[in-house]
Chains A and B, each alone.
Chain A
C-alpha cells in the first residue's frame, strides 16, 4: 500500500501506477524477438514465426468473395453509399436492430439450433476485452472475487481486474485428467475462498477453452451450473471460440444446459465476439448476452464507453444474416481448422511431441515436459527462451496461462499459411534431432543454460512474478504487426 504522501502528490491514479495492465512481463521477450525479426517466406525465411497469436486467418477468401458479391453491405460502395448518413449518425446504444438480430441468429446457428437467442438481450462492447470488463463492472464490487479454472487466458488478469478492482481466484486443472474442470475442484476452491472470508460473486468459464482447445462436456457444465445455482453465484461463460470446434464432441453452450437444468437465469451470462469465430479482431465486435434483465439494462448503458462502429455493425448485420453464406462459412471454416490441427498434431507426434487431445480453438496445448531440465517454472522459461532464440518460434509458455504444471506450451496454428506451418514443423524436427544427436537432452540444456542465463539476464531483471500475463497486443512502439502477415 502506498503511503498517503505518495498518493497525494502523484499525478496519476493508482490504477495507472499499478501493474494491473499486466504488461511488465518477461513474456514480451517472445513478442520482441518476433517484432525485431518477423518471419517472411521470401524476404526473411529465417525470421521468428509467430505462434503466440490466436487468430483465425484460414477463411478470409470466403469473406472476401462475399464482400465482392454484396456491395450494399458497405456504406462506401456506390450501391451502399445512400445509407452512409443514416449509419454514420447512428449512435443509439441499443445497436442497429438488424445487427442485433443477425448476431442473435448467428449465435443460434453456431449452436446448431440447440439454443435460440433474443436480439433484445444482445449488448455491444469493445471486443471481448470490453465485454468481460463491462460484465464484471455490473456484477461485482471492488474486492469481490470470481473463481476461474487455470490454465486461463492471460489477459483476464487485466480485463477482469485492472480497473474493476475485482479479484480472480484460479483453481488448477491438471494433466492427470486431461485438464478437465471438475465440480470437486470448483467446490474446493469455493470453500477455501469462503474460509478466507473472500466474497465470491461467481465463476468464469471459457468454453471452448483457451489455451487448452477443448470443450466442456455437457455433464460438467450441468454440474457446474447446478453448483452456481446452489451457491447463488454468477455463471459467466466466455464462448468466443464456439464456432472453432472442428471435431466431436460437439459444442455445448451454457444456453443449452440452462434449458435442461434447474437454474436461476438471473445468474447466467455469456460473453461473445467475432474475433475468433469469424477472424475479425480489428472490428472490435464484443457481445454481452445476459439472462438477467437488470444486467442487460446496465451493461447497455455502459456500452456507451465502447460501442461497435456503426459502419462495422452495418457490414456484419448484412453478412451474418446471409444464411447461405454463413452455413457454408461455418462448415468450411471448421473443416480447415480441423485439417490444420491434424497436420500440426501429426507433425509434432512424428518428433515424439504429444499434445492434449483437442477439438476446438485456434491452438494446441503442447506437452514438452519431457524436455524440461526439471519440472519447474524456471526450467519451463529456459526451454521457452531456447525455443524463441534457437528454434525461432514464438510459442506461449504455460506459466503465462497460470498453468501450475510446468512444461506445457500453447501453439497457435491458424494464423499462418500452409507453407509457414511446414517451415515451423521442419524447425521443430531439426531442434529435436539436434537434441537427440547430443545424447542426454538434459546435459544439452545445461550447456545452453549458461549461454542463455548470461544473455537473458536483462530479461530476468524485468521478471516480477511468474504469474504475469502476455498482452494480446504488441507492446512494442513501432509494431510491425501490420506488415507481419504470414
Chain B
C-alpha cells in the first residue's frame, strides 16, 4: 500500500501504488543480467546478448543515406533551418497536414496499395503505447473488458488497463492449430465474460502477431469481423508490424476486410499503427490511431494533446515517408533483410533440433523448447529460462510473460543485432543444446541446474508473483541501454 499520511489518508493515488504498471515481476532478472553484463563483440564478448527487445536495426544504413541526401527534411540543417520557427511553434493537434498525408500514403504502400487511408482519420499519439491507452479511454469505461487472444504483447496489460481501469480477458489459443484464433475460442471467452457479468467492449487483435511472428489469414479476419458485428463490440487491430512481413502469405489488413461487405459497421473498427517496428524508430514516439468512427477520431484527436508527436519529428517523417522511391526501396530491402535474418536463425536452430513456429513476419521467432522442460509447468519454464540467461547469456523472453497457456515457448528477437552477434548467439544456442543432450538427460540436467538456480535465486523467488509482464523499457535506474548497441 502507498504512503499513509498522518491523518491516515493515502498520500498518493491508487494507480500510483497498485501494480497496474505491471513491472514488478521476476522477468527483470533477464534485463538486470543484460544491463549488468551487456555483450560487446570486442569489449565484452562473454556478456549477455539482448534477445528480448523487438527492435528493427537492420536498415539504418538506408535511412542514414537518405538523410544525408535530403537535408531539407530536417529543420536543423542549413537547408531546412528557415522552417525551424514555423515547425517549433506548430502544436495543432491535427498534426502537420504533410505528416498526415505521408503516414496515410505509407500505410497504403505497406498494404500493397490494396487499400487507401484517409489523412483526416490519422490521429497522433505517444507511440503505440499512447495509442492503445487513448483508444481504450475513448471506447471503454472502468471495468469494461477487451478480449485478447493469447499469447499477447506483455505491455497491453499496462497500456490498456492501468490508468483506464479497463480489463483484458484472454482468448486462449493453442499450439495444436498453430495458435489460430478460432471463432469457438472467441465465443467461449465472450460467454465466460457475460456469465461473470463483465461488459465486453471489444476485441483486440495484433496482426502480424507479437510474439508469434505470424499473420492472420483472411478467414480468421472475416470471422473476427463477423463476431464483433454480431456482438456489436469494437475491433481494435494493432498492425504495427505490418511492414515486417517478409514472405508469403501477404499481409491482409483489417482495412481490406472492412471493404468486403457493406453490412459491416465501420464505427466499430480501429487500427493502431506506429513507426517503431516497421521503420525502426521507437525513440521518435510516432503512434497513430486510425479509426473509421468519426466520433472516435474527434475524441482521440482531443486526447492526443496528452501525447502529440514532436513537430520536429513530424516534419522529418513527412518528408521521408512521402519519398516514394525511397520508401519503395526501403520496404523491399527491409523485407529481404528480415527474411535472411529469419532464415539464418531458423536454420541454425533447426540444425540443433530446435523448432520454431512457422512465421513470416515480425522481428522475432517463437521458439519451441517444450521438450526441454522437466515438466510442463510455468515453474519449469522459468527455471529453463534462468538457465538460458545465466549459463548461455541470452536474454530471451519466456512465453508466460506473454500469457501463453502452454509452457515451453520462448520469444527470441533477431533483428536488433548485427551479423556477428547473430553468429555468437547461434553458437551459444548450439552449445546449450549440446549440453542439454537428449530428452532424458535434459530432464536430469535441468533438475540439477534447477537446484543450483533455486539456491542462487532464492531472493528473486521471494518476489515471484503471478506471471507478469516485462517492460519494454529498462527499469534499471542507471540503464546502460544507450551504450549497449550490438
List the interface of chain A (C-beta within 8 A of B): 7-8, 11-16, 21, 23, 55, 57, 60, 63-64, 67-68, 71, 73-78, 80-81, 84-94, 96-97, 120, 126-127, 129-130, 133, 137-141, 144, 158-159, 163, 199, 232, 234, 266-267, 275, 279-284, 292, 294-295, 298, 301-302, 304-312, 315, 471-474, 477, 479, 481-482, 485
**Interface residue ranges of B70-129 to A (CB < 8 Å):** 71, 73-78, 80-82, 84-94, 96-97, 120, 126-127, 129
Q: In whole Å, how far is B213's beta carbon from the nearest beta carbon of chain A?
A: 20
Contact A71 B283 (CB under 8 A): no
Contact B280 A304 (CB under 8 A): no
Name the one of A14, A144, A283, A309 contacting B283, with C-beta atoms under 8 angstroms. Answer: A309
Residues in chain A near residue B126, CB distance under 8 A: 126, 130, 304-307
Inter-chain pairs besides A91-B472, A126-B307, A267-B11, 12 sampled, C-beta below 8 Å: A12-B296, A86-B482, A89-B485, A94-B479, A126-B306, A137-B13, A294-B3, A306-B306, A307-B126, A308-B310, A309-B283, A311-B284
Residues in chain A near residue B285, CB distance under 8 A: 91, 306-310
Contact A127 B308 (CB under 8 A): yes
Per-position 1/0 for B281-310, Cβ under 8 A of A: 111110000000101100100110111111
Residues in chain B near residue A96, CB distance under 8 A: 482
Residues in chain A near residue B198, CB distance under 8 A: none
Contact B90 A86 (CB under 8 A): no
List the interface of chain B (C-beta within 8 A of A): 2-3, 5-7, 9, 11-17, 21, 23, 55, 57, 60, 63-64, 67-68, 71, 73-78, 80-82, 84-94, 96-97, 120, 126-127, 129-130, 133, 137-141, 144, 158-159, 162-163, 199, 232, 234, 267-268, 276, 280-285, 293, 295-296, 299, 302-303, 305-313, 316, 471-474, 477, 479, 481-482, 485
Q: List 6 A-B contacts (CB under 8 A).
A: A12-B296, A68-B81, A89-B485, A281-B91, A282-B90, A305-B133
Residues in chain A near residue B74, CB distance under 8 A: 74, 76-77
Contact B73 A76 (CB under 8 A): yes
- Tell me, in angstroms, the Cα distance from A85 to B64 when the chains sit together: 8
Contact A283 B477 (CB under 8 A): no
Q: In whole Å, how far is B28's beta carbon from the nearest beta carbon of chain A?
A: 13
Contact A283 B23 (CB under 8 A): no
Contact A11 B293 (CB under 8 A): yes
Contact B21 A482 (CB under 8 A): no
Contact B313 A311 (CB under 8 A): yes
Contact A92 B296 (CB under 8 A): no
Q: In whole Å, how far is B27's beta carbon from the nearest beta carbon of chain A?
A: 16
Q: In whole Å, how far is A72's beta carbon from the nearest beta carbon of chain B?
A: 10
Contact A91 B276 (CB under 8 A): yes
Contact A11 B268 (CB under 8 A): yes
Contact B89 A485 (CB under 8 A): yes
Name the one of B21, B97, B199 contacting A8, with C-beta atoms under 8 angstroms. Answer: B199
Name the one of A23, A63, A139, A306 contacting B12, with C-beta atoms under 8 angstroms. Answer: A139
Residues in chain A near residue B14, CB distance under 8 A: 141
Residues in chain B near residue A158, CB distance under 8 A: 302, 305
- Tell me, in angstroms, the Cα distance from A55 to B293 when the chains sit together: 33
CB contact under 8 A between A76 and B479, given known A64-B85, A298-B21: no
Name the one of A71, A91, A309 contacting B76, with C-beta atoms under 8 angstroms. Answer: A71
Contact B67 A85 (CB under 8 A): no
- Tell me, in angstroms, the Cα distance from A279 to B90 when the chains sit together: 10
Name the one of A7, A130, A266 contacting B141, with C-beta atoms under 8 angstroms. Answer: A7
Q: Which A-B residue pairs are the 4 nearest by beta carbons?
A: A282-B311, A310-B283, A74-B76, A76-B74
Residues in chain A near residue B11, CB distance under 8 A: 139, 232, 234, 266-267, 292
Measured CB to CB, the nearest residue on chain A to B485 is: A86
Contact B296 A16 (CB under 8 A): yes
- Tell me, in angstroms, the Cα distance from A164 to B77 when the chains sit together: 41
- Tell me, in angstroms, the Cα distance from A262 to B94 when the chains sit together: 46
Contact B67 A92 (CB under 8 A): no
Contact B12 A283 (CB under 8 A): no
Contact B91 A473 (CB under 8 A): yes
Residues in chain B near residue A138, CB distance under 8 A: 12-13, 15-16
Residues in chain A near residue B306, CB distance under 8 A: 126, 129-130, 133, 159, 163, 305-306
Contact A90 B86 (CB under 8 A): no
- Tell me, in angstroms, the Cα distance from A138 to B11 when the chains sit together: 10
Q: Name the residue in B9, B80, B94, B138 with the highest tally of chain A Cβ atoms < 10 Å from its Cβ.
A: B94
- Tell me, in angstroms, the Cα distance from A474 to B93 when the chains sit together: 8
Contact B199 A23 (CB under 8 A): no
Residues in chain A near residue B309, CB distance under 8 A: 284, 309
Measured CB to CB, the nearest residue on chain B to A301 is: B21
Name the one of A74, A80, A90, A482 contacting B92, with C-beta atoms under 8 angstroms. Answer: A482
Residues in chain A near residue B163, CB distance under 8 A: 137, 163, 302, 305
Contact B267 A14 (CB under 8 A): no
Contact B89 A282 (CB under 8 A): yes
Residues in chain B near residue A472, CB distance under 8 A: 91
- Tell me, in angstroms, the Cα distance from A138 to B68 when the chains sit together: 43
Residues in chain A near residue B12, CB distance under 8 A: 138-139, 292, 294-295, 298
Contact A55 B89 (CB under 8 A): yes
Q: In whole Å, how far is B232's beta carbon from the nearest beta carbon of chain A?
A: 8
Name the one of A15, A305, A481 contacting B129, with C-beta atoms under 8 angstroms. Answer: A305
Residues in chain A near residue B133, CB distance under 8 A: 305
Contact A304 B477 (CB under 8 A): no
Contact A67 B89 (CB under 8 A): no
Name the one of A7, A63, A294 contacting B2, with C-beta atoms under 8 angstroms. Answer: A294
